[in-house]
Structure 1
Amino acid sequence: MASLTIDGETGTTVMRVEAEYSPPRSWRTWLIGRPLPTADAPHQTIRKIVGLAVFASDALSSTAYATQEILFILAAAGMGALGNVFPISLAIVALLVIVTISYEQTIHAYPGGGGAYIVARDNLGEAPAQTAGAALLTDYVLTVAVSISAGVAQLTSAYPELFPYRVAIAVGLVLFVMVVNLRGVKESGAIFALPTYFFIGMMFLTVGTGIVRYLTGTLGQVVNPPAAETTGVLTAVTPFLILHAFSSGTAALTGIEAISNGITAFREPRSRNAGITLIFMAGILSTLFLSISFLAGPIAAIPSEA
């Protein structure tokens, strides 16, 4: 439909054409949605509650296996070394606080999105930026691989009959996550919000129940635990072993940079909303991680792949 209007300032006649046309749907548009015009970008921004589900899910999900990674390393020195899991977790949370403060400053300094690559390029040059970018790509790949593998391990632990199909399940989940993310931040946020908040709720319910039972003296221990898995001859608790356990436990920090990279996906004021989301993520992550590590001692948790 065409219409003629006169510009009030210049007096020029302007023809406006409104075409009601939508491109034909194909399997690609059905799978990942239609391409979005650049003009629609402001309408695709998300709130903090959705942003937490989209950008913090990687970091928060790592609480499900970070403590176990520490226990695996400490088990090489025998059962007595497992008591070091909580002090090591405290050190990791201290590192998390430092990283969170750093990214909080970065969010306000780079409101258009400021990850390690952009910050390194602006302050150190192209070579350090490319190094940081390569590290980020590796980190994102490993984050998905480790998170999916850990989730499938928990699934097959609950349903042993699925164990022979664990590889196919993991690959299928990776493809599912890829397709959902290709549909855009807004749609993926709506899809991931429910499982993310369900996970957070169940984790807080679990650790909360454990702490209450610990305080009331009703917390039991693992019944018929599997044999502790070690790599061979027991070793001494050395600084190298502690540092090795610390580095393995820093899996709890995977994906923490995502919010800083995705500032433009938040509603205005972007920097403020992204910063608040980052602080909430760090608080939830620290609380769950420390709670799980603390309870691992009283319940006599033993690392096992079974």
Structure 2
Amino acid sequence: MKIGQWVLAVGYPLTLETTVTAGIVSAKGRTLDINRRQSQTPIESFIQTDAAVNPGNSGGPLINTDGQLVGINSAIASPTGSYAGYSFTIPVNIVKKVVNDIMKFGTPQRAFLGISYPRDDMSEDQKKEAGIKDGEGVYVMDATADGAAAHAGIKKGDVITKLNGINVVTGAEMVGQIATYSPGDKITVTYKRDGKESTVPLTLRNNSGTTAVVKSSALDKLGAKLETLSKKEATSLDVKGGVAVRDVTENGLMDKSRVQEGFIILKANGQEVHSVEEFQKAGGESNRHDQAGRRLPWIRRSLYLSVAHLLGQLIP
């Protein structure tokens, strides 16, 4: 897709029957920050068009003038709730990847670089303080220890400029490209460090830092980012291992249970857990009849807290 290319949106807007509207691609790699309420790591890399889209268009196709599907209409930006000139579409390459994963595995297989990068809403003062320059690429604010990027030698302060030779300028563009790959896929990443550009091979991983197939789990609804506790952290806390809570979504299950960032999960359903995989397995063995007996022991530094019924809330 190219900026200025003509596209057609097809759908059932408002109370109308099948309707076709026309417009052009006005931008690519747009992020609206509308999916953060559903995920700590949302994929937002929309195609922006000025084809008229209204409630009832969501899920309908965006096609080019050759009749080829280029995306699925998903959102609008509007002060009134009705079309005001800006519509947003999920790119077809992401749609195709998700559909294929659901058919093959039952759930999407999400790949991660294992980095954190600046949010679009960062102020200019915050960017200046961190040494972030717009237009150069994606600034690496941190690289997860067991993530794909760290294993490839990428670290805090690097600026990612290309993925498989394709330029990336914003985090949304980078996420949109990574969303078309699966854990275990090999790509090349080009980055700048101290003014020098380097290209390294990299094997993408899942959110747990492995290349294993991820099965759908009720634990996905916890509303938090979980990581396996590092050996260094485990030693400092005098425990054998555990699962660290890195981020907690506002109003998610963990947030409602007063679990905070920095807590460490030690047990789930009475079983010791030393990794995210063990935690998922322990949670998966729950059933709707044993809610009263479920407890999750946690520690935060020297504080020990028991949170009851958390896993019980996950069962529909």
TM-score range, shorter chain: under 0.3
TM-score normalised by L of structure 2: 0.24
Q: Radius of gyration: which is bigger? A: 1
Structure that is richer in strand per residue? 2
Give the TM-score, by structure 1 length.
0.25
Higher RCO (Cα < 8 Å, 6 or more apart):
1
Q: Which has the higher helix share?
A: 1
